[in-house]
Amino acid sequence: MSGFIEWLEDSSAGNSRVRAVLRRSLAFEPGAFPGAYPYVEPFLKGEGFEWRRKAYYLTAGLWAHHWREGRNGVPTSVGKACAHYKTASKSESTELRFINLLDADMDQLPYRLRQMVALLKDQNLDFEDLLKSILDWNNDQKKAQNAWARDFYRNLDGNNTKERTAK
């Protein structure tokens, strides 16, 4: 993909200020916090599309908010991570939150993603996949939403799936 997350990792290695500034940027509209400009704009050279710019800023902020030293395991999509969270927590509201996320429009997406990423704090999320999904969010065929839905429903535990088909 773009290598953006790797670039953020390298930029923040040994410098927690980068992550702190990017976390702070989540309190603003994506791309509206000047403190984050030095960490994202160099990667957007020549980018003129507003949604693409917002997607990069949102992803950078979410990455910084979610970052934990020493995460291990294979990074996973938001859909798969939500399925694992639902299975582990046995939370009935997880599926509704997930569906609301999938139904989010461009204005709602930053808020709903912040909520979901906070909920998934113990999961190792694939932020390159997240960026790609955000960039494709407005696709008429809803490719990103469909991919996350497939990941979610195919990764729920067996008991939960059996209950669904019995209803």
Query: How sure is the predictor about 70, in pLDDT bands with cuts at 50, 70 and 90?
Result: low
Q: Number of helices (H) and strands (E), helices first, in the chain?
A: 10, 0
Start-to-end CA distance of the chain, whole Å, equals 40
Asked if 74 and 47 count as a contact pair (C-beta separation under 8 A), the reply is: no
pTM of the model: 0.89
For residue range 97-151, what is the model confidence (pLDDT) as tens digits?
999 999 999 999 999 999 999 999 999 999 999 999 999 999 999 999 999 999 9
Whether residues 110 and 61 share a domain: the answer is: no
Structure tokens at 82: 């939500």
User: Are 41 and 23 members of one domain?
Assistant: yes
Say yes or no to pLDDT of 164 above 70.
Answer: no
Report the domain count for the chain.
Answer: 2
Whether residues 61 and 126 fall in one domain = no
- 48 pLDDT higher than 70: no
**With contact defined as beta carbons under 8 Å apart, do 66 and 81 qualify?**
no
Of 47, 67, 87, the position where a domain reaches its end is 67
Across the strands, what pairs with 125?
76
pLDDT of residue 85: 96
Q: Specify which residues 76 forms β-bridges with.
A: 125
Type and span of the H or E element at 136: none
Mean pLDDT of the chain: 89
